[in-house]
Amino acid sequence: MNTDEPLPTRASLLNRLKDADDHRSWEEFHRMYRGLLVGTARRAGLNEHETEEAVQDTLITVAKKMPEFRYEAGRDSFKGWLLRIVRWKISDQFRKRKTPRPASDRPFPFYERGLGGDSVNDVAMGGWEHLASPTHDSPDPAAGLDAIWNAEWERHLMRQALDVIKRRARPDQYAIFHLHVIEERPLAEVRRTLGVSAAAVYLAKHRVGRLLKKELRRLHETER
């Protein structure tokens, strides 16, 4: 198995999860999906305690129901199946409240400074301007859980893609890319911090950016 390419709905991982005693695979699942589950619950309006309960309940239910899930590329959607469970568990937490509260409009951090809801599409189309813009970080709760879930799924894919290219790219170029593009540090600051030339920054942005766009396209292909 090629562990250098973690897919969000990797068929091999889903098959391995059917064995409840495969602790390594469940740890991998937890590592890959916890951020997605936490982000969705918080954006839906749950507080920290409720979010933790919803995430734990979701993981327990996934473990129980995984043997029933059948994955066929291009037909069955693990994303949709997981959303149904998440919706159920978030609704449970709201039902426990005497007076449900609306979702908070405070941005919730997912990847260090947070990745914008539109950023993956921007990257796939070749734009980098809003890759980590906090102003694009909060889907409207009134749009419903589907919109929140889709935005968080895009962040999920971005995290997976960054994990992959971090291992593939040259360390020095990834460091430049992360500082300049992901953290949106000015060119002068990047040059001063890393001791590199402007040409090196532009080269890293191009090369690592090309790898990231390719990986994001590949990850999106797995969802079709």
Q: How far apart are the first and last CA of the chain?
A: 22
Q: Per-residue pLDDT tens for 20-43?
A: 778 888 888 888 899 999 999 999
| Domain chopping of the chain, boundaries | 11-221
- pTM tops 0.85, yes or no: no
Which of 64-73, 83-92, 96-105 bottoms out in mean pLDDT, i.e. has the lowest? 96-105
The pLDDT value recorded for residue 101 is 54
How far is it, in rounded angstroms, from Cα 189 to Cα 136? 24
Are 103 and 39 spatial neighbours (Cβ–Cβ below 8 Å)? no
Q: Per-residue pLDDT tens for 151-163?
A: 999 999 999 899 9
Q: Per-residue pLDDT tens for 112-148?
A: 333 333 333 344 334 433 333 333 344 434 348 999 9
Is the pLDDT score of 97 beyond 90?
Answer: no
3-state secondary structure the chain: CCCCCCCCCCHHHHHHCCCCCCHHHHHHHHHHHHHHHHHHHHHHCCCHHHHHHHHHHHHHHHHHHHHHCCCCCCCCCHHHHHHHHHHHHHHHHHHCCCCCCCCCCCCCCCCCCCCCCCHHHHHHCCCCCCCCCHHHCCCCHHHCHHHHHHHHHHHHHHHHHHHHHHHHCCHHHHHHHHHHHHCCCCHHHHHHHHCCCHHHHHHHHHHHHHHHHHHHHHHHHCCC
Angle subtended at Cα 173 by Cα 3 and Cα 209, rounded to the nearest 5 degrees:
75
Quick one: pLDDT band at residue 12, thresholds 50, 70, 90? confident
Is the pLDDT score of 110 beyond 70?
Answer: no
Mean pLDDT of 97-114: 46
Q: Per-residue pLDDT tens for 41-83?
A: 999 999 999 999 999 999 999 988 888 877 665 555 788 889 9
Q: Which residue has better confidence, 6 or 212?
A: 212
Sequence-ordered list of residues with C-beta below 8 angstroms from that of 41, at least 6 positions apart, any chain: 50, 51, 54, 55, 86, 90, 93
Mean pLDDT of 85-93: 92
